Amino acid sequence: MSAAASEITVKSDAVKQMPVEQPHVALRGITCVFHSRGRSLHALGPVDLSLTKGEFFSVVGPSGCGKSTLLDILAGLNPPQTGTAQFEGKPIQGVPDGVGVVFQEDASFPWLNVHDNVAFGLRRAGVDPAEIKRRVDYAIGFMGLKDFAAAYPAQLSGGMRQRVCIARTLVLQPRLIMLDEPFGALDQQTRLIMGDELLRLWRETSATILLITHALDEAAMLSDRVGVMSTRPGTFIDIVETGWDRNRDSRVVSTPHFGDITARLWEKLRVEALKMMSTSETRSS
């Protein structure tokens, strides 16, 4: 046997002995069909996706392609019709322990001040008051809301209200954080700053992040990988690896590489957006 052949044999033995890392999140053959008023609507899938522990993954896709539906399945709020969804190796049935969600709409409670909004989930879970205080103070400080702990949501800007929602998720110390269009209503500068805060949170907590966004620049700047979805029923038509290091921040937007990533995302998404427009035209004619 040649030296080269024996080297290959040694390597393949080494591969056999290596522990195979289990994905943090695993979706296999997921589909979702909604039934209402005698009509069926195939909203999603089939979708296959694996997320590695600690990765930052974003999903972009045309409006109505099933992004929020996908998040609901992962959050255990809506069971899929077919396929399996697992978190940390266990099937998702009901809201899994260790998963935190920031929903598409502003979900702060208007009748509670910032402190009580952030403490809400912990109080409901019956956590010890001293531990609640420690976690809430940390989360409020982390999100830059210390001077507004006694303020009510109506007294805050849109960006600050979104930070309250993120702080409320953060106190639960989730290992998987899912965010559905969290910065959709914010202006461009605020979105970039909020993106930096999200990256800081990701680095400090080592959580896995799944971000749903319409904004290609947000996805390109923040993520390790970006999944591009087709029009409804949404499936992944491309997965783009960004190649950023963990210490990235919003300054990457001025690099040529950032331009390359957004160009590739747009190339795929443009085709899907055009398909969606032509489907709507056909329906209305």
Ligand X SMILES: Nc1ncnc2c1ncn2[C@@H]1O[C@H](COP(=O)(O)OP(=O)(O)OP(=O)(O)O)[C@@H](O)[C@H]1O
Residue 45 · residue 72 · CB < 8 Å:
no
Cis bond before residue 233 (omega within 30° of 0) = yes
- Over the window 66 to 105, marking each residue x when it contacts ligand X by CB under 6 A and - when it does not, the resulting string is xxxx------------------------------------
| Residue whose token pair is 């747009």 | 266
- Over the window 176 to 215, marking each residue x when it contacts ligand X by CB under 6 A and - when it does not, the resulting string is ----------------------------------------
Nearer to Mg ion, 68 or 213 (CB): 68
Partnered with residue 240 across adjacent β-strands are 226
Task: Decide if residue 285 touches ligand X (CB under 6 A).
Answer: no
Task: Decide if residue 68 touches Mg ion (CB under 5 A).
Answer: yes
Q: Are strands 25-36 and 39-51 parallel, antiparallel or unpaired?
A: antiparallel
Q: Which two tokens stand for residue 250?
A: 């919003």
Q: Among 10, 41, 77, 274, which residue interacts with ligand X (rule: CB under 6 A)? A: 41
Nearer to ligand X, 44 or 132 (CB): 44
Q: Which does 65 bind (CB under 5 to 8 A by kind): ligand X, Mg ion, none?
A: ligand X
3-state secondary structure of 113: coil
Q: Who contacts 68 (Cβ-Cβ below 8 Å, separation ≥6)?
A: 104, 180, 212
Q: Would you give the DSSP letter of residue 19?
A: P
Q: Which two tokens stand for residue 156?
A: 């805050």
Q: How far apart are CA 206 and CA 56, in angstroms?
A: 10
Task: Decide if residue 213 touches Mg ion (CB under 5 A).
Answer: no
| Stretch binding Mg ion (CB under 5 A), from 60-68, 117-125, 267-275, 277-285 | 60-68
Contact positions vs ligand X (CB under 6 A): 34, 36, 41, 43, 61, 63-69, 232
Contact positions vs Mg ion (CB under 5 A): 67-68
